[in-house]
Homo-oligomer: A and B are copies of this chain.
Amino acid sequence: MLVEEKEKELLDLAFGRRYRELKERLVEMNEVDIASFIEELDPEKTLVVFRMLPKELSSEVFACLPVEQQQHIITSINDSELRAIIDDLYVDDAVDMLEELPASIVKRVLKSSSPDTRQLINQFLNYPENSAGSVMTAEYVGLKKTMTVAQAFAYIRKYGVDKETIYTCYVMDATRHLEGVVTVKDLLMNSYETVVEDIMDSRVIKAYTTEDQEKVVETFNEYNLLSLPVVDQENRLVGIITVDDVMDVMEQEATEDFEKMAAMLPSERPYLKTGVLQLAKNRILWLMVLMFSSMFTGGILLHYETAFSVIPLLVTFIPMLMSTGGNSGSQASTMIIRGMAVGEIEPSDILKVVWKEVRVGAVCGFCLALVTYIRLVLQYPGQQNIALTVVVSIFFTVILAKSIGCALPIAAKVIHLDPAIMASPMITTIVDACSMLLYFQAACFFLDM
């Protein structure tokens, strides 16, 4: 509430053209909050406000703006202003931005940036999407193992101000091979005469440039790191990944899993900024596949059509069986997919998992069957055989659904598919068909059809 009121006041200042007051207020603020204020402005005011920011603040704010406004600013400022911003951005922020911009603008940005920055950006743009190389940054502190603590501090004081994280320093030899890490904490806790080699940790936990970013997240979680060095195939340090970028990756990966598990193609952009056609495109493929798969269940129903004509009451239990089966299966598959995503369950656990789910299915199936039996006996007294048919079907449907629900995601992982596609929608469609077959087999058995 307070934030919103403050933003309203600032907007009043901007539209009242009281720019001096506005500037005084802005320089007191955090770059994230300034960016979210600028997001509210129209294109013309955006530029006015952006230009009134002090130089060092403006590139920080720029990094926090959405890509549309970055693009608007880039196309409206002159080359020397542009160069100042780009050279001031951390390389990974610049790369994030360039990946979203149209090619003509990218060209102008690269032309305006200094040769060093340009070379770095080009290098980063070449790493495969979602690889460790694509999320790393080139700003880190590199030390030599022969330095003393005092020399290390002097080096950090001199060169560290631009580095995205200075708290973990990397020790390299003359050819940039990574030899160890030393934290600022280690430096602070030892006397100024100590040599870096004596306090550095040579058991470095690191990532390779081509490694998947999901793997990087796992490493961060396992070892509680603040930053992770990224090396090339020859163990030469090329960059580091910082914890704030890893948190973004974690959020992005979880969102992707949610989308895949609801039968959608994952999208990179936020929902409110994605167009209707793009959203429809992400969803239609799976809807189509699942619609055609469900015709199989329809075929089963048609095949047993005679059963309905004889005992119409059988129809009324179809939604209950399909829904219970689908939900039971989704529960199991969700647990297993998530368990594999956080590294808790391995494909080698498959027997343990299936055996567990069969027992969980038996317990749940028994409870559901019991409750249904009581209801049916009360609601339709004398229809003993129909009650038996339904109850037996429920019991075995739940067990079957749990088994399919837990086995298919693991199977997908084994054959190197993404387990997330074996989630609720797919499992439900498969379990629907199975539960209907079971139901009508039970009906044939108990009702002599």
Please give me the residue from chain B that is nearest to A336 by CB atom: B271
Describe A's contact surface by its main secondary structure: helix
Q: Which of A298-349 contact B (CB under 8 A)?
A: 298-299, 301-302, 305, 308-309, 312-313, 315-320, 322-324, 326-328, 330-331, 333-339, 342, 344-345, 349
Query: 1/0 contact trace for A222-266 toward B, CB 8 Å?
Result: 111010000000000000000110111011001101110111100
Judging by beta carbons under 8 Å apart, are B324 and A322 in contact? Answer: no
Judging by beta carbons under 8 Å apart, are B432 and A331 in contact? Answer: no
Q: Does A374 contact B (CB under 8 A)?
A: no
Other-chain residue from B160, B188, B259, B349 in contact with A189 (beta carbon distance below 8 A): B160
- Nearest CB of B to A24, in Å: 15
The verdict on A319 contacting B284 (CB below 8 Å), with A224-B244, A254-B254 known, is no
Q: Does A429 contact B (CB under 8 A)?
A: yes
Q: Does A184 contact B (CB under 8 A)?
A: yes
Partner-contacting stretch, out of A10-18, A100-108, A121-129, A355-363: A355-363
A102 to B188, CA, bound (A): 40
Other-chain residue from B167, B271, B287, B320 in contact with A167 (beta carbon distance below 8 A): B167
Please give the count of copies of this chain that the complex contains: 2
A338 to B251, CA, bound (A): 10
Query: 1/0 contact trace for A412-449 toward B, CB 8 Å?
Result: 00000000000011001100100010000000000000
Q: Does A283 contact B (CB under 8 A)?
A: yes
Judging by beta carbons under 8 Å apart, are A30 and B322 in contact? Answer: no
Other-chain residue from B157, B185, B336 in contact with A188 (beta carbon distance below 8 A): B157
Please give me the residue from chain B that is nearest to A313 by CB atom: B302
Q: Does A272 contact B (CB under 8 A)?
A: yes
The verdict on A323 contacting B294 (CB below 8 Å), with A251-B342, A284-B364 known, is yes
Please give me the residue from chain B that is nearest to A258 by CB atom: B338
- Nearest CB of B to A30, in Å: 7
Judging by beta carbons under 8 Å apart, are A338 and B223 in contact? Answer: no
Q: Does A5 contact B (CB under 8 A)?
A: no
Residues of B contacting A254 with CB < 8 Å? 254
Q: Does A382 contact B (CB under 8 A)?
A: no
Please give me the residue from chain B that is nearest to A433 by CB atom: B319
Judging by beta carbons under 8 Å apart, are A263 and B363 in contact? Answer: no
A319 to B272, CA, bound (A): 32
Q: Does A32 contact B (CB under 8 A)?
A: yes
